Structure 1
Amino acid sequence: MFLNHLISKLSLISCVTLLIIACSQPNNKAYNNMTITEPQTTVTIKPPVAKKNPHTMVNHNHTRIDDYYWMRDDSRTDPEILAHLAAENAYATAQLKHTEVLQEQIFQEIKARIDKDDSSVPTKRGKFFYSSQMLGDNEYPIYVRATDFAGSNLEELLNVNELAKEHDYYQVSGLTASPDGKLLAYGEDTFSRRVYTVRFKSIANNQLLNETLEGTSGNIVWANDNKTVYYIKKDPQTLLGYQVFKHTLGTPQADDELIYEETDNAYYTYLSKSKDGSNIFIWHSSTESSGVSIIDANSTTAKPSMFIPREEGHEYSIAKLGDWYYILTNWQATNFRLMKVQETKIGDKANWQDVIPANDDVKLEDFELFTDHLVYQQRENGITRVTIEQLSTGKKQQLSFNDSAYSLELYGNNELDNSALRVHYDSFTTPGTDYDIDLISFDKNQLKQTKVLGDFTRNNYASERIFVTARDGKQVPVSLVYRKDKFKKDGTNPILQYAYGSYGHTIDPYFSLSRLSLLDRGFVYAIAHVRGSEMLGRPWYEDGKKLNKMNTFTDFIDVTKALTAQGYAAKNKVFAAGGSAGGLLMGGIINMAPELYLGIAAAVPFVDVVTTMLDESIPLTTNEFDEWGNPKDKVYYDYMLSYSPYDQIKAQNYPNILITTGLHDSQVQYFEPMKWVAKLREYKTDDNLLIFKTDMEAGHGGASGRFKQIYETALEYSFFIDLLNKKDILNNK
């Protein structure tokens, strides 16, 4: 009955779509040296209209009526809901039919810039150097290893393309070799819910072992006996990884020993191993507090012990060097500091010694330990600085780079006895570059720079870093990039403004092969480093969360106004984009200042804030209370309600909007954007586009595969360019 009901609805939708397509033959028009299609205006396509089924919710003596609450189906099998999503997809296809040529053109442009045969830089772990290869038209990597950096005795570990053949979605996680290098473990997700099955294989004969671990986070850590592994099991409802089990190869999973169980559902649980291989770390992480438990990796009977008792508001991480532990901590240090303590004295903070003192003006972000060197990464006035210090002499050297603003990541530094620091560097105008930096001489050895095929020349592009004064006087950093010969600071260029602005996540200026398709068409691209990130240190984050969340929205709006006022963009050619919590930002700004934006793209948007945060059965909700607040407290309820995009929809004109989601999203459930679209359709007073597209196989991260993901980018870019083209047509009439 279910299939017949759904098929009949899908058949009707398909017929309508075919009729629309048959009646609508697009014309071609040139815009900025490209061919695009001009939409037909003779055919009226009506969007799907969702039924209203009032659902009453009463909290703190306040009543809300949600007419679209019925759209939630945790099983994702309800025929009426699936049919409505299919109708929205058919409507999206029909409305964007005339852009398909442009979508394909942008897809091919981006794909043509990618070096099809590409390998990652090998990183040493134990006796081997591990890397991945992307070959030809493969969607997925092939993982390999060699006995030296040059690639001697190269052997294939895992060909993900072969594994993915039978699946619409496929993701590998946590590829890890045993300490002796003979066995390989990896997590496999074929459903896009970030719940993994761990598999094991013999590397020598390339054969899978006859055992699996089900319902895991996808990552395991090996004990040093090469047959015992530790893994995290997820709660099937909340999807929280909360139980740490010990498994012995060759035994049933049902016999695995529970080593640790997280009883506070505000915490995430992770696993890792110390560089010297002696410790297994269980990480306990919430938004405002954290902790670490330690297991002896040499004893399969060892039990975890807490590094120090967890304290509310205390965040820290540790690394081990000899019999010393180094601690990155916010204890009496808003912007964090680095301390150390001897192994025998870890339980008492009075024994901790300062290594890098607290600095209210500089955020300490990360550090790496080597046998005789400490490397630490700081952020000052929004710019990343990396310093190498020799522990035996105290000699220090701060690294320097050519760009005024950039993105820098320490990675692959798995061994204490490395002679060099591995970093990945890029900027708006510099493709991703991998360096080994000698720890003694500080010389940079460039190992690789991402190839950009075609006519790319970095000198054709320019980047800027400016500060915009927000309405409360705070200075908001903004990173900008544009093509020099396409840009005039006269208020005529289109602009795409992006931000995230939550969880303290900082997005530095980074290079994008895809973005060139916008820059080459005259777009300016801007990242607004709004409050809610840590671009200007921890206080910048604190000023954009909980009862300060409104600053994230107003910062973004104030940046938009400043960029147009200063001539970086035309007032009527402003586009904005954000995903997940950045999708929340998009929902907020279009309620507050819809007139500023021609088009908006919101991917997997978190928009039904109050209802979601009141429902602890929804995956990950309880982990979010320290970010947004708990609406069971009236103060937070009222404040959330004041900005929640779904609750604040009103009868007004809205911009053109493209909304995308995945049916199996485990982070932001599909029904949030689905409800949002239905309510927007009901209330908006304009004739602007409202397009809603659901990937029926994907989750929060979108489609799997390197080329499949480009189609999503091409869709978004063509949506913006088409709107710009239509505006130019109207202006030229």
Structure 2
Amino acid sequence: MLLRRQLCNHVSLLCLPRLLYSPPSFSHFTPTKSSHSLSQSPSPPVAKKVEHVLEMFGDVRVDNYYWLRDDSRSDPEILSHLNLENSYTDSVMSGTKKFEDELFGEIKGRVKEDDISAPIRRGQYYYYMKYLQGKEYVQYCRRLIPSNDTAPSLYDTMSTGSDAPPEHVILDENVKAQSQNHSFYSIGAFKVSPNNKLVAYAEDTKGDEIYTVYVIDAKTGALVDKPLVSLTPYLEWAGDEALVYITMDEILRPDKVWLHKLGNDQLIDICLYHEKDHIFSIDLEASESKKFLFVGSRSKITRSIFYLDVAKPEDLRVLTPRVVGADTSVSHRGNHFFIRRRTDKFFNSELLACPVENTSETTVLIPHRESVKIQGKQLFMEHLAVYERENGLPKITTYRLPPVGEPLKSLQGGQTVDFVDPIYSIEPSESQFASSILRFSYSSMKTPPSVYDHDMNTGISVLKKIETVLGGFNSSNYVTERKWANASDGTQIPISIVYQKNLVKLDGSDPLLLYGYGSYEICIDPGFKTSQLSLLDRGFIYAIAHIRGGGEMGRQWNENGKLLKKKNTFTDFIACAEYLIENQYCTNEKLCIEGRSAGGLLIGAVLNMRPDLFKAAVAGVPFVDVVTSLLDPTIPLTTTEWEEFGDPRKKEFYFYMKSYSPFDNVKAQNYPNILVTAGLNDSLVMYSEPAKFVAKLRDMKTDDNILLFKCEFCAGHSSKSGRFEKLQEDAFTYTFILKALNMIPASTSGQS
């Protein structure tokens, strides 16, 4: 699903970079005097004011910076202003550039640069991704499975020795990016045909998430079809000679699903479905059995399903009809579809089954439970794995199914997979439908991402891959905790915390970085991010506020933090910050905050509400111009947001939104140190939103604290594309935070 302000993962379970570092000696950390004083820097850019009057319901708003919006992103005056902002940022941070470079080297030094992912079996091959020393991007590779290895087992291991089948590189992103001279390169889909002879992949070379799909011979890499242009990354094979894909309308809403037969021109592809309701978008997935494709038509609260048999791909049929408030997802096994269904009554979902030949005849397999949310499912020939959430933590429960063809009844006696950390994150991984082996990824705030194979017959789990962290990393040096803050209405808000036990004093003197998101029912589970060790090993505490608007505590957690309850998201975050201060994790002079995308809305809102509470803030690609954006249906995907934030064309929502919209609530007051980022090619949050926010802050704030704006000209919503480029961005962000806290040693500050 393409969410307009979709979460940029603050932790990636699939990234291979691992980071080398020895903790510094703090005896030589002498803070520089006034290291962030603007008196030592040039004057910041001043955006011109051009009065633009906006009126709704008799309410007049004057937006002096509306001129900064340019849909074509080519206006010379706007580009000049963005360049001035970048130059100013470079100038302010020039005194700490030496430290930033050393920090980047420290972070990068933890990376095992030559690494591979845990191989996955598909047919007669092992497939995996591979990183090479010094290279930014990944290779897609495979090896033949030896002929005597006939069935997957818990202890499968891909041989790489001299007698092993040779490695074959199907696609090298490094070669593609370099040969075509792309500053940005990302593959959004990599799909192998059922017979393993062809590969279809979706390529984005700008960061705008508009893809071109190429079909190549898996052995030779030669193109076997004309490229398909202007697609989403939703792409699936329908047999070995046809593809199903999705395109977008003029506002980048996925709205049409197409059937493409190899060899045909894209102009004669068959449109299987056109979603004309602008609140709904289309998505696509294959069943685990690979016999069916499911097309979902979804809004923020409703999802109906169409299905097609890959043997008859032109015949798209309704499986779950559209009912407002009913959200469904489907899997297939034998002669049954398995349906996860959420409604207003069954808000945490129930699991049903129905015969393929009679989809209206349903059987409840797992009933709705008020304390347990069914988040997802993974179906096997003989088993079912259910991903659930209870008390804010994810869990996996597995069930043995009756043989195919026998009646399906209510499932009993599920086995729960055990995890060792008190707080953690788990994600499903690709598994083999015909096997009893469930693969999943696991991490915690002190446990690097780990791939496990779990035998659903025996309950045994085997570690297949753990990300290597160089430089003497020892997870036992770190402590993870879950605490609970009291919200203003008495609701308990979970907080996940990690720190280096040998460095943190917990007496209020420690620096702390608090992260938040709080939208779309997305769960920010406590996972591992290697670059954060550079903060933890400098005595930082890192915390995640699991605020309402997200989904950590079930569906109602989102319901109580959206629409006319959206302010709960912001007051929950403030309550978490106050809890951390009251319990001596930090003081407001040591408290830094961060959020991206919709989390940037959070940061902008709390900065206006409680600027006194924070020392520094980082707002990444922030959605901060809420009212103006959501009043404009010509902006990409705005219409799909109305069920999350409300439709400001309605009076009640207009005034409620206006009361928290960060841009509309900037006022003459002191603000903490602030870093705001943007991507020029971002199609989800247009660069003009953060640019306008910064311009208004510069005009109105009454302090001399740092305010920096960094716009990446060759990036989109998820920032730059290279693995080391992303680490460089982390180094810059951490340098800003350390600068704001006067924690940069004099020897590397660039000052005498």
Asked if TM exceeds 0.5, the reply is yes
The equivalent of 1:20 in structure 2 is none
The equivalent of 2:584 in structure 1 is 567
1:124 shift after superposition: 2.4
Equivalent residue in structure 2 for 1:240, among 253, 276, 280: 253
Q: Check conservation: 1:328, 1:339, Cα contact below 8 A.
A: yes
The one-character-per-residue Cα deviations of 1:515-556 (angstroms, maximum 9, x if unpaired) are: 100000011000000101111111111100010000000011
The equivalent of 1:505 in structure 2 is 522
The one-character-per-residue Cα deviations of 1:453-506 (angstroms, maximum 9, x if unpaired) are: 002111111011011111110100000000001111211101000011000001
For residues 342-353 of structure 1, the aligned pairs below 5 Å read 342-346=355-359, 348=360, 351-353=361-363
1:277 shift after superposition: 2.2
Residue type at the aligned position of 1:375:
A
Tell me the SS of whatever aligns to 2:723. coil
1:37 shift after superposition: 6.8
Tell me the SS of whatever aligns to 1:345. coil
Change (3 A) 1:427 1:32: farther
Equivalent residue in structure 1 for 2:280, among 249, 267, 272: 267
The equivalent of 1:399 in structure 2 is 417
1:208 shift after superposition: 2.0
1:306 is the counterpart of 2:306: no
CA distance in 2, matches of 1:154, 1:306: 43
Q: Percent same amino acid among aligned pairs?
A: 40
1:122 is the counterpart of 2:119: yes
1:303 shift after superposition: 2.2
Equivalent residue in structure 1 for 2:371, among 361, 384, 388: 361
1:229 is the counterpart of 2:246: no
The equivalent of 1:150 in structure 2 is 158
CA distance in 2, matches of 1:182, 1:703: 32
1:96 is the counterpart of 2:93: yes
The equivalent of 1:432 in structure 2 is 449
CA distance in 2, matches of 1:726, 1:206: 51
Tell me the SS of whatever aligns to 2:658. helix
Equivalent residue in structure 2 for 1:251, among 264, 267, 270: 264
The equivalent of 2:330 in structure 1 is 318
1:97 shift after superposition: 0.5
The equivalent of 1:213 in structure 2 is 228
Tell me the SS of whatever aligns to 1:632. coil
Residue type at the aligned position of 1:543:
N
For residues 539-550 of structure 1, the aligned pairs below 5 Å read 539-550=556-567
Question: Of Structure 1 and Structure 2, which has the larger fraction of its residues in helix?
Answer: 1
1:373 is the counterpart of 2:383: yes
1:659 is the counterpart of 2:676: yes
Equivalent residue in structure 2 for 1:140, among 123, 137, 142: 137
Q: Check conservation: 1:142, 1:157, Cα contact below 8 A.
A: yes
1:580 shift after superposition: 0.3
CA distance in 1, matches of 2:244, 2:385: 29
Residue type at the aligned position of 1:410:
P
CA distance in 2, matches of 1:520, 1:30: 10
Residue type at the aligned position of 2:549:
G
The one-character-per-residue Cα deviations of 1:293-328 (angstroms, maximum 9, x if unpaired) are: 11121124x321111220110001010111111111
The equivalent of 2:296 in structure 1 is 283
Residue type at the aligned position of 2:280:
Y
1:210 shift after superposition: 5.0
For residues 445-460 of structure 1, the aligned pairs below 5 Å read 445-460=462-477
For residues 573-612 of structure 1, the aligned pairs below 5 Å read 573-612=590-629
CA distance in 2, matches of 1:465, 1:682: 40
The one-character-per-residue Cα deviations of 1:58-101 (angstroms, maximum 9, x if unpaired) are: 11121111111011110111110000000000100000101111
The equivalent of 2:108 in structure 1 is 111
1:30 shift after superposition: 8.6
CA distance in 1, matches of 2:36, 2:564: 47
Residue type at the aligned position of 1:180:
N
CA distance in 2, matches of 1:32, 1:168: 41
Residue type at the aligned position of 1:672:
E
CA distance in 1, matches of 2:298, 2:443: 29
Equivalent residue in structure 2 for 1:410, among 424, 428, 436: 428
Equivalent residue in structure 1 for 2:47, among 50, 56, 77: 50
1:130 shift after superposition: 1.5
CA distance in 1, matches of 2:390, 2:287: 29
1:275 shift after superposition: 2.0
The one-character-per-residue Cα deviations of 1:359-405 (angstroms, maximum 9, x if unpaired) are: 11111111111111111121111112211111239553211111111
CA distance in 1, matches of 2:187, 2:29: 38
Tell me the SS of whatever aligns to 1:313. coil
Q: Check conservation: 1:36, 1:102, Cα contact below 8 A.
A: no
Residue type at the aligned position of 2:49:
K
Tell me the SS of whatever aligns to 1:207. coil
Change (3 A) 1:728 1:467: farther
Structure 1 runs of 4+ aligned residues shifted over 4 Å read 29-38, 726-729
CA distance in 1, matches of 2:500, 2:604: 29
Q: Check conservation: 2:232, 2:254, Cα contact below 8 A.
A: yes
Residue type at the aligned position of 2:266:
Q
Q: Check conservation: 2:32, 2:744, Cα contact below 8 A.
A: no
Q: Check conservation: 2:203, 2:212, Cα contact below 8 A.
A: yes
Q: Check conservation: 2:31, 2:743, Cα contact below 8 A.
A: no
1:125 shift after superposition: 2.9
Structure 2: 5+ residue runs without aligned partners? Answer: 1-23, 146-156, 160-164, 403-410, 747-752
1:294 is the counterpart of 2:291: no
The one-character-per-residue Cα deviations of 1:114-146 (angstroms, maximum 9, x if unpaired) are: 111111111223333221001101100000122
Q: TM-score, normalised by structure 1?
A: 0.92
Residue type at the aligned position of 1:670:
Y
CA distance in 1, matches of 2:485, 2:534: 27
Equivalent residue in structure 2 for 1:333, among 321, 324, 346: 346
The one-character-per-residue Cα deviations of 1:654-696 (angstroms, maximum 9, x if unpaired) are: 1110001010101100000000011111110111110001001
Count of paired positions: 694
Q: Which deviates more from structure 2 when the two are superposed, residues 43-52 or residues 718-727?
A: 718-727
Q: Check conservation: 2:242, 2:260, Cα contact below 8 A.
A: yes
Change (3 A) 1:524 1:387: same
1:187 is the counterpart of 2:202: yes
Equivalent residue in structure 1 for 2:646, among 591, 613, 629: 629
CA distance in 1, matches of 2:252, 2:95: 40
Residue type at the aligned position of 1:96:
M
The equivalent of 1:74 in structure 2 is 71
Which structure is higher in RCO with an 8 Å CA cutoff and minimum separation 6? 2
CA distance in 1, matches of 2:340, 2:533: 38
The one-character-per-residue Cα deviations of 1:235-269 (angstroms, maximum 9, x if unpaired) are: 2x311121111112222111112111111121221
Structure 1: 5+ residue runs without aligned partners? Answer: 1-28
The equivalent of 1:11 in structure 2 is none
CA distance in 2, matches of 1:36, 1:147: 57
Change (3 A) 1:322 1:33: farther
CA distance in 1, matches of 2:383, 2:260: 36
1:172 is the counterpart of 2:187: yes
Equivalent residue in structure 2 for 1:461, among 440, 455, 478: 478
Residue type at the aligned position of 1:561:
E
How big is the alpha-carbon RMSD for the aligned residues of Structure 1 and Structure 2?
1.8
Change (3 A) 1:89 1:204: same
Residue type at the aligned position of 1:696:
F
Q: Which deviates more from structure 2 when the two are superposed, residues 290-299 or residues 513-522?
A: 290-299
Tell me the SS of whatever aligns to 2:659. helix
1:204 is the counterpart of 2:219: yes
